[in-house]
A and B are shown apart, each in its own frame.
Chain A
Amino acid sequence: MITYSIVDGTESSLKNFLKTLPGVDQVGAEARAAMLGTRSIKAASKNYAIELAISMVDLTTLEGADTPGKVRALCSKGLRPDPTDATVPHVGAICVYNDMVSTARQHLDSIGGSDLPIAAVSTAFPSGRASMPVKIHDTQDAIDAGATEIDMVIDRGAFLSGRFGEVFEEIKIIKELCGDRAHLKVILETGELVTYDNVRKASYIAMLAGADFIKTSTGKVTPAATAPVVLVMLEAVRDYYELTGTRIGVKAAGGIRTTKDAIKQLVLVNETAGPEWLNPALFRIGASALLNDLLQQRMKMREGRYASPNYVTID
Chain B
Amino acid sequence: MSAFEYAPAPESRAVVSIEPEYGLFINGKFVKGKKHFPSINPATGEKLSNITQASNADVDKAVLAARSAYQKTWSKMAPAQRAKYLYRIARILQERAREFAVLETLDNGKPIRESRDVDVPLAAAHFFYHAGWADKLQHAGFGSAPKPHGVVGQIIPWNFPLLMLAWKIAPALATGNTVVLKPAESTSLTALLFAQVCQQAELPAGVVNIVTGDGAVGAALVNHPGIDKIAFTGSTDVGKIIARSVAHSGKSLTLELGGKGANIVFEDAAIDEAVEGIVNGIFFNQGHVCCAGSRLLIQEGIHDEVVGKLKVRMAKIRVGDPMDKNTDLGAINSAEQLMKINELVDYGKKEGGEIWSPQCTLPSKGFWFAPTIFSGVTQAHRIAREEIFGPVLSILTFRTPQEAIEKANNTPFGLSAGIWSEKGSRTLWASNQLKAGVIWANTFNKFDPASPFGGYKESGWGREGGRHGLGSYIKGGDHE
Q: Does A103 contact B (CB under 8 A)?
A: no
User: Among the listed stretches B161-169, B272-280, B396-404, which one makes contact with chain A, having 4 or more residues with CB under 8 Å of it?
Assistant: B272-280
Closest CB in chain B relative to A246 CB, distance in Å: 18
Is the pair A24, B270 in contact by a Cβ cutoff of 8 Å?
A: yes
Most B CB contacts (10 A, CB to CB) among A28, A38, A266 go to: A28
Q: Does B184 contact A (CB under 8 A)?
A: no
Is the pair A46, B316 in contact by a Cβ cutoff of 8 Å?
A: no
B7 touches which of A23, A27, A31, A46 (Cβ 8 Å): A46
Chain B residue numbers with a CB within 8 Å of A44 are 1, 7
| Bound Cα distance from A126 to B298, whole angstroms | 44
Residues of B276-303 contacting chain A, CB below 8 A: 276-277
Residues of A26-67 contacting chain B, CB below 8 A: 27-29, 31-32, 38-49, 52
| Given known A-B contacts A25-B273, A28-B273, A38-B325, A270 and B9 have beta carbons under 8 A apart | no
Closest CB in chain A relative to B287 CB, distance in Å: 18
Q: Does B8 contact A (CB under 8 A)?
A: yes
Taking Cβ atoms with an 8 Å cutoff, the residues of A that contact B are 22-25, 27-29, 31-32, 38-49, 52, 235, 266, 270-271, 275, 278
| Bound Cα distance from A271 to B276, whole angstroms | 12
Given known contacts A39-B6, A41-B6, what 14 new A-B pairs fall within 8 Å (CB)? Answer: A24-B270, A24-B273, A25-B274, A25-B422, A25-B442, A28-B277, A28-B442, A32-B276, A42-B9, A44-B1, A45-B5, A266-B4, A275-B3, A278-B4
Chain B residue numbers with a CB within 8 Å of A22 are 268-272, 422
| Bound Cα distance from A38 to B116, whole angstroms | 11
Most B CB contacts (10 A, CB to CB) among A23, A52, A235, A271 go to: A23
Chain B residue numbers with a CB within 8 Å of A52 are 4
Chain A residue numbers with a CB within 8 Å of B5 are 45
Is the pair B325, A27 in contact by a Cβ cutoff of 8 Å?
A: no
Closest residue of chain B to A242, judged by CB? Answer: B308
Closest CB in chain A relative to B200 CB, distance in Å: 29
| Bound Cα distance from A24 to B272, whole angstroms | 7
Q: Does B117 contact A (CB under 8 A)?
A: yes
| Bound Cα distance from A42 to B316, whole angstroms | 19
Q: 1/0 contact trace for B406-446 toward A, CB 8 Å?
A: 00000000000000001000000000000000000011000
Is the pair B8, A42 in contact by a Cβ cutoff of 8 Å?
A: yes
| Bound Cα distance from A247 to B443, whole angstroms | 31
| Bound Cα distance from A32 to B442, whole angstroms | 13
Taking Cβ atoms with an 8 Å cutoff, the residues of B that contact A are 1, 3-9, 113, 117, 268-274, 276-277, 316, 325-326, 422, 442-443
Chain B residue numbers with a CB within 8 Å of A45 are 1, 4-7
Closest residue of chain A to B11, judged by CB? Answer: A40
Is the pair B272, A40 in contact by a Cβ cutoff of 8 Å?
A: no
Is the pair B270, A25 in contact by a Cβ cutoff of 8 Å?
A: yes
A48 touches which of B4, B117, B274 (Cβ 8 Å): B4
Q: Can you list 7 A-B contacts (CB < 8 A)?
A: A22-B422, A23-B422, A27-B443, A28-B276, A46-B7, A48-B1, A275-B4
Chain A residue numbers with a CB within 8 Å of B6 are 39-42, 45
Is the pair A32, B326 in contact by a Cβ cutoff of 8 Å?
A: no
Chain B residue numbers with a CB within 8 Å of A43 are 7-8
| Bound Cα distance from A28 to B7, whole angstroms | 27
| Bound Cα distance from A25 to B422, whole angstroms | 8
Closest CB in chain A relative to B9 CB, distance in Å: 4
The 9 A-B residue pairs with the shortest CB-CB distance, nearest first, are: A28-B273, A40-B9, A25-B273, A25-B270, A40-B325, A43-B7, A45-B7, A22-B271, A23-B422
Closest residue of chain B to A238, judged by CB? Answer: B312
Most B CB contacts (10 A, CB to CB) among A22, A52, A271 go to: A22
Is the pair B117, A38 in contact by a Cβ cutoff of 8 Å?
A: yes
Closest residue of chain A to B328, judged by CB? Answer: A35
Chain B residue numbers with a CB within 8 Å of A47 are 1
Closest residue of chain A to B308, judged by CB? Answer: A242
| Bound Cα distance from A176 to B1, whole angstroms | 40
Chain B residue numbers with a CB within 8 Å of A39 are 6, 325-326
Chain B residue numbers with a CB within 8 Å of A275 are 3-4
| Bound Cα distance from A235 to B271, whole angstroms | 11
Closest CB in chain A relative to B466 CB, distance in Å: 21
Closest CB in chain B relative to A227 CB, distance in Å: 14
Is the pair B9, A271 in contact by a Cβ cutoff of 8 Å?
A: no
Closest residue of chain B to A24, judged by CB? Answer: B270
Closest CB in chain A relative to B409 CB, distance in Å: 25
| Given known A-B contacts A266-B4, A270-B4, A29 and B9 have beta carbons under 8 A apart | no
Closest residue of chain A to B324, judged by CB? Answer: A40
Most A CB contacts (10 A, CB to CB) among B1, B8, B113 go to: B1
Is the pair A28, B4 in contact by a Cβ cutoff of 8 Å?
A: no
| Given known A-B contacts A48-B1, A48-B4, A41 and B272 have beta carbons under 8 A apart | no
Chain B residue numbers with a CB within 8 Å of A31 are 276, 443
Closest CB in chain A relative to B54 CB, distance in Å: 39
| Bound Cα distance from A42 to B271, whole angstroms | 32
Chain B residue numbers with a CB within 8 Å of A27 are 273, 442-443
Is the pair B269, A28 in contact by a Cβ cutoff of 8 Å?
A: no
Is the pair A29, B273 in contact by a Cβ cutoff of 8 Å?
A: yes
B273 touches which of A32, A41, A42, A48 (Cβ 8 Å): A32
Closest residue of chain A to B279, judged by CB? Answer: A32
| Bound Cα distance from A28 to B420, whole angstroms | 11
Is the pair A28, B1 in contact by a Cβ cutoff of 8 Å?
A: no
Is the pair B443, A41 in contact by a Cβ cutoff of 8 Å?
A: no
| Bound Cα distance from A297 to B189, whole angstroms | 40
Closest CB in chain A relative to B324 CB, distance in Å: 8
| Bound Cα distance from A266 to B5, whole angstroms | 11
Is the pair B4, A42 in contact by a Cβ cutoff of 8 Å?
A: no
| Bound Cα distance from A44 to B117, whole angstroms | 26
| Bound Cα distance from A45 to B324, whole angstroms | 14
Is the pair B3, A23 in contact by a Cβ cutoff of 8 Å?
A: no
| Bound Cα distance from A40 to B7, whole angstroms | 9
| Bound Cα distance from A226 to B274, whole angstroms | 21
Chain A residue numbers with a CB within 8 Å of B273 are 24-25, 27-29, 32
Chain A residue numbers with a CB within 8 Å of B269 are 22
| Bound Cα distance from A270 to B269, whole angstroms | 25
Chain B residue numbers with a CB within 8 Å of A271 are 316
Closest residue of chain B to A51, judged by CB? Answer: B1
Closest CB in chain A relative to B178 CB, distance in Å: 39
Is the pair A49, B4 in contact by a Cβ cutoff of 8 Å?
A: yes
Closest residue of chain A to B305, judged by CB? Answer: A22
| Bound Cα distance from A148 to B24, whole angstroms | 73
Is the pair B442, A38 in contact by a Cβ cutoff of 8 Å?
A: no
Chain A residue numbers with a CB within 8 Å of B443 are 27-28, 31
Closest CB in chain B relative to A158 CB, distance in Å: 25
| Bound Cα distance from A39 to B316, whole angstroms | 13
Closest residue of chain B to A34, judged by CB? Answer: B117
Chain B residue numbers with a CB within 8 Å of A32 are 272-273, 276
| Bound Cα distance from A270 to B1, whole angstroms | 15
Is the pair A28, B117 in contact by a Cβ cutoff of 8 Å?
A: no
| Bound Cα distance from A28 to B1, whole angstroms | 33
Closest CB in chain A relative to B310 CB, distance in Å: 14
Chain A residue numbers with a CB within 8 Å of B276 are 28, 31-32
| Bound Cα distance from A266 to B3, whole angstroms | 12
Closest CB in chain B relative to A232 CB, distance in Å: 8
